[in-house]
Amino acid sequence: MSAARRPARTGAIVAAIVLGLFFVLLATQIGGGGGTRSSQLVGGPVPEFDLPILDGGSLASSDLAGTTYLVNFWNEWCIPCRQEHPALVAFQAAHRDDPAVRLIGIVRDERSLAAVREYVAAEGVTWTVLLDPGGDAKVAFGTTGQPETFAIDAGGIVRDYQYGPATSERLEEMLATAGGR
């Protein structure tokens, strides 16, 4: 029996094949999603920024040419940031005397400047802390939360990215990826 004379059967068979494949594809997506987060910026130039420093003055991305540095988005009310804090302290202690390496914190979604100052003083934050009052930096870096950390090499290229709190080892690894050691 030719297809032309049995259009309903032909149509049903075609529809069954197409929809069957569709269902199989849907099935593969159940429970999907999530996965590890990556950053689009890795491999490309660091976004330009020019932000006020907590202690006064300002710092621009152009000032950091030739330096290998980590940019850490954080704030004082985020619990995972507090968990990450010892690793950052250790990193700063290890590289404090190396002029070619810097750690820079950017306060993301600041709620109270006083609380930031209090935290910086109480928890021994000795690295440069930048403020992002307009939110331009958090968007330029493509962040969706905190903490998030980026490693930038001396040529101003983003080399590594960490979503969520990093360990000491991870921070060192990021620095190494950016050629800081």
Partner 1 sequence: MSAGSRSRVVAWALIGIALVVVAVTVVVRSGNETDEQRVARLSRSLACPVCTGESVAASNASEAQVMRRQIREGVAAGRSDAEITDPFVVAYGDDILLEPDAGGLGAIVWALPVLLVAGGGAALAIALRRWSRAPRLVATAADEELVARLRATHDRETS
Partner 2 sequence: MRQAIGSFSLTLAATGAISGAVVLAVGAARHDVRWMRLGRRFVPVVLIGAIGAVAAMQWALNSHDYSLEYVYSNVANATPRLFTITALWGALEGSILLWGLILAIYIAATAHRFRARADDPVVAWATAVQLFVALFFFALMLGPADPFTSHASPITPFDGQGPNALLQNHPLMAFHPPMLYAGYVGFTIPFSFAISALITGRFGEGWLADTRRASLVAWGFLTVGIVLGAWWSYEVLGWGGYWAWDPVENASLLPWLTATAFMHSVMVQERRGMLRVWNLSLVIATFALTILGTFLTRSGVIESVHAFSESDIGVWLLVFLGVIVLGSLVLIGLRGDALRTPGRIDSPLSREAAFLANNLLFAAFALVVLIGTVYPLLAEALRDERVSIGEPYFRAMTAPIGIGLLFLMAVAPVLPWRATSNAVLRDRLLVPAAVGVAVMAVTVAFGARGNAQVAAFGLGAFCLAGIGRNFGVGVQARRRARHEGVVRAAGRMVRGNPRLYGGLVVHVGVVLIGVAIAASSGYTAKREVQLATGESVTISGYTVSYLGSVETVTDQKSTVSARMRVERGGDDLGVYEPSISTFPSATTAIGTPSVRTSWRNDLYLSMSSTEDADGRIGITIAVNPLIVWLWIGGAVMALGTVVCLVPRRREPSLSGAGAGAGVGAVAAAADMAGETRPEDPTVVGAST
With CB under 5 to 8 Å by kind, the binding choice for 134 among partner 1, partner 2, none is partner 1
Among 83, 109, 154, 177, binds partner 1 (CB under 8 A): 109
Q: How far is the CB of 115 from partner 2 (least distance, A)?
A: 12
Distance in angstroms (rounded) separating the CA atoms of residues 107 and 74 = 5
Among 15, 124, 139, 155, binds partner 1 (CB under 8 A): 139
- The secondary structure of residue 85, as a DSSP letter, is H
Show Cβ contacts of residue 71 under 8 Å, excluding neighbours closer than 6 positions: 46, 104, 106, 141, 149, 150, 152
Residues 21-50: x/- map of binding to partner 1 (CB under 8 A)? -------------------xx--x--x---
3-class SS letters over 54-74? CCCCEEEHHHHCCCEEEEEEE
| 155 binding partner 2? (CB under 8 A) | no
Residues that bind partner 1 (CB under 8 A): 40-41, 44, 47, 109, 134-136, 138-142, 144-145
